Amino acid sequence: MNMVFQINGRDVGIEVSDSELLLDTLRHIGFSSVREGCGVGACGSCTVLVDGKSVSSCLVLTSRCNGSSILTSEGLADDDPVVSQFIKNGAAQCGYCIPGFVMMVSELLSENPIPTEQEIYNHLEGNICRCGSYPEIVQAAMDASKAKQTSKLTC
């Protein structure tokens, strides 16, 4: 079918097959931050936001996103507080899983701007980092929350 959606703010019109998954569509278009890990929704490497909500793109039919707005980590600004705090905290080793973590933290902070450490753990519990960078990732999430609050106050 022919469909139109927004990816990182730009309108994209494509033709997709009935069974095509969002993960494959996004990678074919060139969004290589979206990565397959487990393929069954359990690891979080392929996380993107569809209309602001996190999904495992390996389980979502592209055709279901007709008219939706998709955000991948390529769509975040260089000075995005979540991205900045991941870099500042060295919250990555090999980096394969990191775009997924960044998108999950972005969703969490939009729903819950000042999460507790436990709430961060709860939201990220379905994301797997085989390098074990969890302490740095959680710290980056807490620092991003603080940075967002500070930037709000100074605006």
Nearest approach, Cβ of residue 109 and another protein (Å): 13
Whether residue 27 contacts residue 45, with contact meaning beta carbons closer than 8 Å, is answered with no
Nearest approach, Cβ of residue 96 and another protein (Å): 17
2-7 vs 10-15, strand pairing mode: antiparallel
Whole-angstrom distance, CA of residue 95 vs CA of residue 93:
5
Binding site for another protein (CB under 8 A): 17-19, 21, 39-42, 44, 47, 53-56, 58-61, 63-64, 104, 107, 123, 125-127
Judged by beta carbon, residue 49 or residue 144, the one nearer another protein is 49
CB < 8 Å & 24+ apart, contacts of 147-154: 147/81, 147/84, 147/85, 148/81, 148/109, 148/113, 149/113, 149/114, 151/81
Judged by beta carbon, residue 125 or residue 151, the one nearer another protein is 125
Whole-angstrom distance, CA of residue 34 vs CA of residue 74:
9
Judged by beta carbon, residue 55 or residue 144, the one nearer another protein is 55
Judged by beta carbon, residue 17 or residue 116, the one nearer another protein is 17
Judged by beta carbon, residue 55 or residue 82, the one nearer another protein is 55
Least Cα distance to 53 among 42, 38, 68 occurs for: 68
Nearest approach, Cβ of residue 38 and another protein (Å): 10
Tokens, residue 43: 């690891």
